Amino acid sequence: MKAQFWSFDLVFAVIIFVFALVLLTYVWLNISGEYSLLYGRNVANIQLQLNSLGSQLLSPGIPSNWNYIVNFSAVSAWQNITVGLGNGTFGSLSQFKINALQNMSSDNYQAAKPALGVGYDYYITITGSWISESIGKNPAQLNATSLQSSVLPVVINGAPAQMTIELWTNSTLGLE
């Protein structure tokens, strides 16, 4: 009788263990699947904002003379502009607009994001034979967990250059 009692306890314990293992596996697979979908959507969102920012930066902006009318001490007025670095010819950038965006970013980085139309952190570098400018926060120095970048050929004062745009975040799963 003692052996039968022992086998009944063992069978009951194995059934509970297998049930708990199946339940844990089910929950684990659902949670990891949801995180995977969420991360994928947020990477797509960063990529969408990156594509939009690239087009916007090649344009002159709205208004096209925004760099002359922007008031660096009145951040609230930045909501009425759309930053573009173009000078009217596609792919050609204005040094004055680059300097204005650099000043905006240095003065108030967070307020410059809406003027660029992005919700993520940004880092823009423009390099050429005679120019080397960086605007924004460098993701390599701030432990970026999600980063999307785009490289665009540009012209500044008749000389070829390259503009690298990086949108990034260091928040969990690329959420912003």
Q: What is the pLDDT along the chain (176 residues), one digit of tens a residue?
A: 455 556 777 788 888 888 888 887 777 766 665 555 555 556 677 888 888 889 999 999 888 898 888 887 777 777 888 899 998 888 899 999 999 999 999 988 998 898 898 888 999 999 998 889 999 999 988 888 888 889 999 999 889 999 999 998 887 654 44
Q: How far is CA 141 from CA 49, 51, 69, 89, 168, in A?
A: 22, 24, 33, 34, 12
User: Phi/psi at 12 (nearest 5 deg)?
Assistant: -60, -40
Q: Which two tokens stand for residue 90?
A: 């596609």
* pTM, 2 dp: 0.72
Residue 131 lies in a domain: yes
6, part of any domain: no
Q: Is position 5 within any domain?
A: no
Full residue range of the structural domain in which residue 76 is found: 11-174
Any domain includes 148 = yes
Q: Is residue 76 part of a domain?
A: yes
As for how many domains the chain has, the answer is 1
Residue 42 within a domain: yes
**CA pair distance 61, 65, nearest whole angstrom:** 8
1: in domain: no
Residue 4 belongs to some domain of the structure = no
